[in-house]
Amino acid sequence: MSFAEKLSAFRLSRLKAHLSNVCMSHDLILKNVAKHISLTEEEAIHFTSVLSYKEIPKKTNLLTEGQACKQLSYVHSGALRSYCLDKEGKESTIMFAVSDWWVTDMYCYLNEKPAMMYIETIEDSCIFQLSKENFNKLFTAIPKFERFFRILMQNAYTREQLRIIENLTLTAEERYDRFINKYPQIVKQVTQKQIASYLGITPEFLSAIRKKKASGKIS
């Protein structure tokens, strides 16, 4: 084995040792990445080495409006919610993020702007975070990640476009029905008040919809 090969093997062993010190398994996030790109063992080790792991209690703000948005978060377990406030302090839920989802204030993360929204934990959560600095360096170290994050952002854009169309063309009852059918796992982890905020209706109106649905008056 040449000196260069020995050096490469040594670096790889150091990276593996680094991972052994991380208490949370990276299997889930690597499976998430594998949906769109294939990583070599060394690439996978490099990727996981630039992630930071956090355990965050329920009802903790991960991001607040006006704060520097420097982290992209992957939800390993638990549930998070992003929302914004109007001038009267009324909350509008933008999205939910449960296990195997990514979340951030994407516009502000990419453009290094102060956050326009809040991100809070709905449950005790375990997350991996990728800093903006490491996000940029990752494209140089492993260029195929440009494809991964492009697909991730395309999917997010498509999801939000469909949501806007649904908000403009469907009734509240239809939007609720689609939400519970499309995201059954989220329904189990969030409150009815938070769902109402996401749908743009009052909790009282959502309660009325659920009562009608239970009675069989709406499909």
Contacts of 116 (CB under 8 A, 6+ apart): 65, 84, 105, 107, 108
The predicted structure's pLDDT at residue 21:
46
Q: What does the buried/exposed string (b/e) look like for 175-194 if buried means 16 or more CB atoms within 10 Å of the residue's CB?
A: bbbebeeebeebeebbeeeb
Of 145, 85, 72, which is closest to residue 117 (Cα–Cα)? 85
Compute the distance between CA of residue 133 and CA of residue 139 in angstroms, rounded to an integer.
11
Tokens 């638990």, residue?
78
Reported as a single tens digit per residue, the pLDDT across 46-105 is 999 999 999 999 999 999 999 999 999 999 999 999 999 999 989 999 999 999 999 999
Reported as a single tens digit per residue, the pLDDT across 120-141 is 999 999 999 999 999 999 999 9
Average pLDDT, the chain: 90
Cα–chain center distance at 63: 13
At the topology level, CATH places domain 3-169 in Jelly Rolls (2.60.120)
Contacts of 124 (CB under 8 A, 6+ apart): 55, 56, 57, 58, 78
The predicted structure's pLDDT at residue 20:
45
The predicted structure's pLDDT at residue 214:
80
148 token code pair = 């991964």
Which run of H or E residues covers position 10? helix 3-20
Average pLDDT value for residue range 200-215: 90
Q: For the chain, which residues make up each domain, given as ranges? A: 3-169
Residue 154 has pLDDT above 70, yes or no: yes
Q: Regarding predicted confidence, which is higher, 110 or 20?
A: 110
The predicted structure's pLDDT at residue 217:
59
